[in-house]
Amino acid sequence: MSAVDAVALLSGHRVMPVYTPGGVDEAVSTARALLAGGVGAIEVTLRTEVAMDAIAAIAREVPGMKVGAGTVLDPAQMRQAQAAGATFAVSPGSSPELLRAAVDLGIAYLPGVATGSEVMAALAAGHRLLKVFPAQAINALELIQAWRGPFGHARFCPTGGIDATLAREYLRQPNVACLGGSWLTPADALRTGDWARIEGLAREAVALSGA
Ligand SMILES: O=C(O)C(=O)C[C@H](O)[C@H](O)COP(=O)(O)O
Protein backbone atom coordinates (compact mmCIF):
# COMPACT_ATOMS: atom_id res chain seq x y z
CA MET A 1 0.00 0.00 0.00
CA SER A 2 1.31 3.47 -0.77
CA ALA A 3 0.58 6.83 0.78
CA VAL A 4 -2.15 9.07 -0.61
CA ASP A 5 -0.43 11.95 -2.42
CA ALA A 6 -1.14 15.08 -0.39
CA VAL A 7 0.64 17.22 -3.01
CA ALA A 8 -1.99 16.20 -5.58
CA LEU A 9 -4.89 16.52 -3.14
CA LEU A 10 -3.93 20.07 -2.14
CA SER A 11 -2.70 21.17 -5.53
CA GLY A 12 -3.80 24.75 -6.21
CA HIS A 13 -4.54 25.41 -2.54
CA ARG A 14 -1.49 27.42 -1.66
CA VAL A 15 -2.64 29.22 1.47
CA MET A 16 -4.29 27.06 4.08
CA PRO A 17 -6.10 28.65 6.98
CA VAL A 18 -5.35 26.97 10.30
CA TYR A 19 -8.61 27.35 12.15
CA THR A 20 -9.45 26.49 15.76
CA PRO A 21 -13.23 26.13 15.93
CA GLY A 22 -15.27 27.77 18.66
CA GLY A 23 -18.52 26.11 17.58
CA VAL A 24 -20.14 24.13 14.81
CA ASP A 25 -22.17 27.00 13.34
CA GLU A 26 -19.12 29.25 13.51
CA ALA A 27 -17.11 26.59 11.65
CA VAL A 28 -19.65 26.35 8.83
CA SER A 29 -19.87 30.14 8.46
CA THR A 30 -16.08 30.41 8.52
CA ALA A 31 -15.66 27.75 5.86
CA ARG A 32 -18.30 29.40 3.69
CA ALA A 33 -16.62 32.79 4.00
CA LEU A 34 -13.20 31.36 3.16
CA LEU A 35 -14.61 29.53 0.16
CA ALA A 36 -16.39 32.67 -1.02
CA GLY A 37 -12.99 34.38 -0.89
CA GLY A 38 -11.46 31.64 -3.03
CA VAL A 39 -9.79 29.49 -0.37
CA GLY A 40 -10.72 25.86 -0.94
CA ALA A 41 -8.88 23.95 1.80
CA ILE A 42 -8.92 24.38 5.56
CA GLU A 43 -7.05 22.79 8.45
CA VAL A 44 -9.29 22.50 11.51
CA THR A 45 -7.21 22.03 14.64
CA LEU A 46 -8.30 19.42 17.15
CA ARG A 47 -7.67 21.82 20.00
CA THR A 48 -11.28 22.33 21.03
CA GLU A 49 -14.03 19.90 22.07
CA VAL A 50 -16.15 20.76 19.05
CA ALA A 51 -13.41 20.08 16.50
CA MET A 52 -14.61 16.69 15.22
CA ASP A 53 -18.19 17.97 14.93
CA ALA A 54 -16.89 21.07 13.17
CA ILE A 55 -15.03 18.92 10.64
CA ALA A 56 -18.16 16.83 10.05
CA ALA A 57 -20.33 19.92 9.59
CA ILE A 58 -17.95 21.52 7.10
CA ALA A 59 -17.65 18.27 5.15
CA ARG A 60 -21.43 17.95 5.04
CA GLU A 61 -22.53 21.55 4.57
CA VAL A 62 -19.77 23.26 2.62
CA PRO A 63 -19.26 21.31 -0.58
CA GLY A 64 -16.18 22.48 -2.41
CA MET A 65 -14.21 23.01 0.79
CA LYS A 66 -11.53 20.39 1.43
CA VAL A 67 -11.39 19.87 5.15
CA GLY A 68 -8.44 18.47 7.04
CA ALA A 69 -7.71 17.84 10.70
CA GLY A 70 -4.78 19.53 12.40
CA THR A 71 -3.05 18.82 15.71
CA VAL A 72 -3.33 15.10 15.01
CA LEU A 73 -1.23 13.55 17.76
CA ASP A 74 -2.10 9.84 17.53
CA PRO A 75 -3.62 7.32 15.10
CA ALA A 76 -6.96 7.24 16.96
CA GLN A 77 -7.48 10.94 16.27
CA MET A 78 -6.51 10.39 12.64
CA ARG A 79 -9.09 7.62 12.31
CA GLN A 80 -11.77 9.71 14.02
CA ALA A 81 -11.06 12.74 11.84
CA GLN A 82 -11.28 10.65 8.69
CA ALA A 83 -14.59 9.18 9.85
CA ALA A 84 -15.84 12.72 10.44
CA GLY A 85 -15.04 13.65 6.86
CA ALA A 86 -11.47 14.93 6.88
CA THR A 87 -9.63 14.12 3.66
CA PHE A 88 -6.25 15.06 5.04
CA ALA A 89 -4.51 15.16 8.41
CA VAL A 90 -1.76 17.42 9.68
CA SER A 91 0.55 17.07 12.69
CA PRO A 92 2.92 19.47 14.39
CA GLY A 93 5.49 16.63 14.43
CA SER A 94 5.28 12.96 13.61
CA SER A 95 5.70 9.47 14.97
CA PRO A 96 6.33 6.12 13.26
CA GLU A 97 2.78 5.11 14.27
CA LEU A 98 1.23 8.14 12.58
CA LEU A 99 3.35 7.81 9.44
CA ARG A 100 2.14 4.22 9.12
CA ALA A 101 -1.49 4.86 10.13
CA ALA A 102 -1.96 7.42 7.36
CA VAL A 103 -0.91 4.85 4.76
CA ASP A 104 -3.08 2.13 6.32
CA LEU A 105 -6.12 4.41 6.55
CA GLY A 106 -5.61 5.86 3.07
CA ILE A 107 -5.71 9.46 4.22
CA ALA A 108 -3.44 12.21 2.87
CA TYR A 109 -1.01 13.22 5.59
CA LEU A 110 1.26 16.19 6.27
CA PRO A 111 3.62 15.20 9.08
CA GLY A 112 5.42 18.01 10.86
CA VAL A 113 9.17 18.30 10.36
CA ALA A 114 11.89 20.53 11.74
CA THR A 115 15.04 18.51 10.96
CA GLY A 116 16.57 16.57 8.08
CA SER A 117 16.13 13.30 9.95
CA GLU A 118 12.40 13.94 10.28
CA VAL A 119 12.18 14.72 6.57
CA MET A 120 13.95 11.43 5.84
CA ALA A 121 11.59 9.44 8.07
CA ALA A 122 8.53 11.00 6.43
CA LEU A 123 9.83 10.43 2.90
CA ALA A 124 10.74 6.83 3.72
CA ALA A 125 7.14 6.25 4.81
CA GLY A 126 5.90 7.66 1.48
CA HIS A 127 4.83 11.14 2.60
CA ARG A 128 6.23 14.01 0.56
CA LEU A 129 4.18 17.06 1.60
CA LEU A 130 5.61 18.06 4.93
CA LYS A 131 4.48 20.70 7.39
CA VAL A 132 7.51 22.69 8.55
CA PHE A 133 6.64 23.72 12.08
CA PRO A 134 7.08 26.08 13.86
CA ALA A 135 8.26 27.86 10.72
CA GLN A 136 9.34 31.26 11.93
CA ALA A 137 10.94 29.92 15.12
CA ILE A 138 13.24 27.61 13.15
CA ASN A 139 14.05 29.95 10.27
CA ALA A 140 12.11 27.74 7.89
CA LEU A 141 12.72 29.96 4.89
CA GLU A 142 16.44 29.16 4.90
CA LEU A 143 15.84 25.58 5.97
CA ILE A 144 13.49 24.96 3.05
CA GLN A 145 15.96 26.55 0.62
CA ALA A 146 18.74 24.31 1.97
CA TRP A 147 16.53 21.21 1.68
CA ARG A 148 15.99 21.73 -2.04
CA GLY A 149 19.25 19.96 -2.81
CA PRO A 150 19.10 16.79 -0.75
CA PHE A 151 15.29 16.44 -0.65
CA GLY A 152 14.37 17.46 -4.20
CA HIS A 153 11.24 15.29 -4.17
CA ALA A 154 9.83 16.81 -0.97
CA ARG A 155 7.32 19.66 -0.91
CA PHE A 156 6.81 21.83 2.13
CA CYS A 157 3.96 23.55 3.92
CA PRO A 158 5.58 25.96 6.40
CA THR A 159 3.31 26.95 9.28
CA GLY A 160 3.80 28.86 12.50
CA GLY A 161 4.19 32.59 12.85
CA ILE A 162 3.49 33.32 9.17
CA ASP A 163 1.42 36.35 8.19
CA ALA A 164 0.42 37.81 4.84
CA THR A 165 3.75 39.63 4.43
CA LEU A 166 5.92 36.62 5.17
CA ALA A 167 3.65 34.40 3.09
CA ARG A 168 4.70 36.12 -0.11
CA GLU A 169 8.34 35.28 0.57
CA TYR A 170 7.65 31.63 1.36
CA LEU A 171 5.39 31.14 -1.65
CA ARG A 172 8.23 32.18 -3.96
CA GLN A 173 10.16 29.04 -3.03
CA PRO A 174 9.77 26.36 -5.69
CA ASN A 175 9.52 23.57 -3.10
CA VAL A 176 6.83 25.32 -1.05
CA ALA A 177 3.54 23.79 -2.19
CA CYS A 178 1.41 25.58 0.36
CA LEU A 179 1.61 27.28 3.73
CA GLY A 180 -0.57 27.46 6.77
CA GLY A 181 -1.58 30.24 9.09
CA SER A 182 -4.16 31.40 11.58
CA TRP A 183 -4.12 34.98 10.33
CA LEU A 184 -7.07 34.27 8.00
CA THR A 185 -9.39 33.53 10.90
CA PRO A 186 -8.67 36.22 13.51
CA ALA A 187 -10.24 35.67 16.93
CA ASP A 188 -12.07 39.01 16.96
CA ALA A 189 -13.65 38.39 13.55
CA LEU A 190 -14.82 34.96 14.73
CA ARG A 191 -16.20 36.44 17.94
CA THR A 192 -18.22 39.11 16.18
CA GLY A 193 -19.18 36.94 13.21
CA ASP A 194 -17.45 39.25 10.77
CA TRP A 195 -17.59 36.83 7.84
CA ALA A 196 -17.04 39.62 5.32
CA ARG A 197 -13.64 40.29 6.89
CA ILE A 198 -12.69 36.62 6.71
CA GLU A 199 -13.79 36.51 3.09
CA GLY A 200 -11.65 39.57 2.41
CA LEU A 201 -8.62 38.02 4.10
CA ALA A 202 -9.12 34.88 2.01
CA ARG A 203 -9.30 36.95 -1.16
CA GLU A 204 -6.05 38.72 -0.27
CA ALA A 205 -4.36 35.41 0.47
CA VAL A 206 -5.40 33.97 -2.87
CA ALA A 207 -4.05 37.07 -4.60
CA LEU A 208 -0.76 36.62 -2.71
CA SER A 209 -0.35 33.08 -3.87
CA GLY A 210 -0.77 34.07 -7.48
CA ALA A 211 1.82 36.85 -7.10
O1 LIG B 1 -2.39 23.08 16.29
C2 LIG B 1 -1.51 22.62 15.57
O3 LIG B 1 -1.54 21.47 15.17
C4 LIG B 1 -0.33 23.39 15.17
O5 LIG B 1 0.59 22.83 14.67
C6 LIG B 1 -0.24 24.80 15.39
C7 LIG B 1 -0.66 25.66 14.19
O8 LIG B 1 -0.20 25.19 12.98
C9 LIG B 1 -0.23 27.02 14.46
O10 LIG B 1 -0.87 27.43 15.64
C11 LIG B 1 -0.48 28.00 13.35
O12 LIG B 1 -0.81 29.23 13.89
P13 LIG B 1 -0.05 30.61 13.58
O14 LIG B 1 1.35 30.45 14.01
O15 LIG B 1 -0.80 31.56 14.45
O16 LIG B 1 -0.24 30.85 12.13
Contact, 91 vs 110, CB < 8 A?
Answer: yes
pTM score: 0.97
Q: Of 26, 43, 66, 199, which one is the catalytic site residue?
A: 43
Taking only the tens place, the pLDDT of each residue in 182-192 is 999 999 999 99
Q: Of 49, 61, 97, 131, which one is the catalytic site residue?
A: 131
Pairing mode of beta strands 112-113, 41-45:
unpaired
DSSP 178-206: -EEESTTS-HHHHHHT-HHHHHHHHHHHH
Distances (CA, A) of 45 to 35, 73, 111, 142, 184: 18, 11, 14, 27, 14
Q: Is 26 a catalytic residue?
A: no
Give residue 181 CA to ligand 1 midpoint distance, Å. Answer: 7
Q: CATH: 3.20.20.70, 3.40.50.1820, 3.30.420.590, 3.40.630.10. Which one for 6-209?
A: 3.20.20.70
Q: ipTM value, please give it.
A: 0.95
- Give the residue extent of every domain in the chain: 6-209
By alpha-carbon position, which residue is closest to atom 1 of ligand 1? Answer: 71
Q: Is 131 a catalytic residue?
A: yes
Taking only the tens place, the pLDDT of each residue in 49-102 is 999 999 999 999 999 999 999 999 999 999 999 999 999 999 999 999 999 999
The model's confidence at residue 209, banded by pLDDT at 50, 70 and 90, is: confident
